[in-house]
Amino acid sequence: MLRRAYLSVIRRKTKTTILFLFLLIISTLVLSTISIKNATKKSMEVARKSLATEVTLSMDMSKLRDSFKNEDNASMSDKKEMMENMHDKMSNNSPKMSDVNKLKKSKYVVDVKYSFSVNASEEDFELYSTDSDDNNENSFMGGPMPMNRNNSLEVEAINTFKLLDEYQNKTITLESGEAFDEDDKDAVIISYELATTNDLKVGDTITVKDTSDKSHKLTIKGIYQNSETKGFNTSYNKIYINASTAESFMTEDEYNDGNYILKSAVFYLDDPENSNKFISESKNIITDLEDRNLTLDIDTRTYEQMTSSIQNVAKLSTVILVIVIIAAIVVISLITINSLKDRNYELGVLLGLGEKKIKIVSQFIAEIALLATISFVCAIFSSKLISQKLADTIITSQQQTEEKMVMGPGMDRGNGIKAMTNVNEIKNVDVNVSTKDIGYLFIVGYGIIIISNIVPSVKIINSDPKDILSRKE
């Protein structure tokens, strides 16, 4: 049977060449799409592992609104009482330091960010005054500044300065000095304007008073610059201090055994896949999470934005793979059926000589499998040449489509792109044909051959040698 298959392949040169070229195209496409698919999967995996997923513990504002609606506010004697009630509710429903301390012990948490505000006032330095600004760049519509936030000192505490949102999204940049971390006790980072007003530099000290009039000496570790266009909302008198330093500013009531209110609490997880596990674990640790209207939200936007292009490439390569497989099955079936018509006489002769039908089916499959094996080997080289180019082409076309969608008709191009620039989107995939991909090609390829030989095989099994040979006679 193998001898006949071999002879048929090498003697029927034209048909063999045509079939071989077809199989080479098919196997190159199959291997390329498999490689692209696996490469995008790998890139997404790398991206996934490189990004710590953020889970934010915050107030569930929609639930809070509902609870306000449900209460009979009319019964409250005046507006002040209503405001006090709202303040109490907000306080009770805010994330607390004690919550963070419980949740940060989870094995899924690799880092945590929390910040809060403390009340303090300047003691040995002056605040930067926008009224004295000769450029008048902070004036509001040419008139006096309403509710100017720069009239008092703002003190924001954060456990690690580098995790500060404004620093991460480059709203502020360090003009000199460096960021503080959790261990930098009494360190402070002040604004460039505050430093200039008081002729301060890194290493100098400033003194602030807490609400109990207690003085705290802080060493300037860094000076920041507001990099955004300065405006009404820009805070020049804001200083950042270490969280543990800030705790010493609190009164006993404010500290409340570590249950003080946080402005925000974000947990960075080791793997996005563990997000839901972390949330369920957290609900077991803080059992009154829902009663307190607190919510844990997963932020996978960064991961999704980073991988959006290659996710589409992965989807498109799957579609191409499916189309190629279906087309291959149909075309190989037709080629084999057509070849069977040509070789009907040979079929009749072999059956007439007493050959078993199953062996004839095996011969036909062996012939195509022999050619397929050679084409698979050649496809390893050809797909190495085209897969990277194919992937680049798909990614480029995906990005063009996305750009059009982001900008929309009539939208300014600059604005559209700006929305995407905060994230480093993966714009290329390094496609390498791996041993695993080759393995898949052989499995898929032989699968295609077996499936495409089903119809011709049924035809062979139903053949009658006498009918075939008598037609020939």
Q: Which range binds another protein by CB under 8 A, 106-114, 258-266, 329-337, 352-360?
A: 352-360
Q: Check binding of 18 to another protein (CB under 8 A).
A: no
Residue 40 CB, shortest distance to another protein, in Å, is 46
For 132, other C-beta atoms within 10 Å of its C-beta total 8
- The contacts found for 321-327 with CB under 8 angstroms, 24 or more apart, are 321/30, 321/33, 321/34, 321/37, 324/26, 324/29, 324/30, 324/33, 325/30, 325/444, 325/448, 327/26
Comparison of 309 and 457: residue with beta carbon closer to another protein: 457
In sign, the C-alpha dihedral spanning 21, 23, 29, 35 is negative
Comparison of 63 and 357: residue with beta carbon closer to another protein: 357
Amino acid at 184: D
User: b/e per residue, 442-455, with b = 16+ CB within 10 A?
Assistant: eebbbebbeebbee
**Quick check: 180 and 159 in contact, CB under 8 A?**
no
At 133 the three-state DSSP class reads coil
Q: Check binding of 11 to another protein (CB under 8 A).
A: yes
Q: Residue for token digits 């191409």?
A: 320
Q: Check binding of 7 to another protein (CB under 8 A).
A: yes
Comparison of 241 and 370: residue with beta carbon closer to another protein: 370
Q: Which range binds another protein by CB under 8 A, 8-16, 54-62, 87-95, 322-330?
A: 8-16
Comparison of 74 and 353: residue with beta carbon closer to another protein: 353
One residue of 178, 346, 392, 402 binding another protein per CB under 8 A: 346
Comparison of 76 and 349: residue with beta carbon closer to another protein: 349
C-alpha–C-alpha distance, residues 151 and 266, integer Å = 30
C-alpha–C-alpha distance, residues 433 and 373, integer Å = 17
Residue 373 CB, shortest distance to another protein, in Å, is 21
By CB under 8 A, what part of segment 287-316 binds another protein? none
Comparison of 78 and 473: residue with beta carbon closer to another protein: 473
Q: Which range binds another protein by CB under 8 A, 98-106, 154-162, 350-358, 440-448?
A: 350-358
User: b/e per residue, 228-240, with b = 16+ CB within 10 A?
Assistant: eeeeeebbbbbbb
Q: Check binding of 350 to another protein (CB under 8 A).
A: yes
By CB under 8 A, what part of segment 405-464 binds another protein? none
Q: Check binding of 355 to another protein (CB under 8 A).
A: yes
E strand residue ranges, 351-426? none
Residue 1 CB, shortest distance to another protein, in Å, is 7
Return residues touching another protein (CB under 8 A). Answer: 1, 3-4, 7-8, 11-12, 345-346, 348-350, 352-356, 465-466, 469-470, 472-473
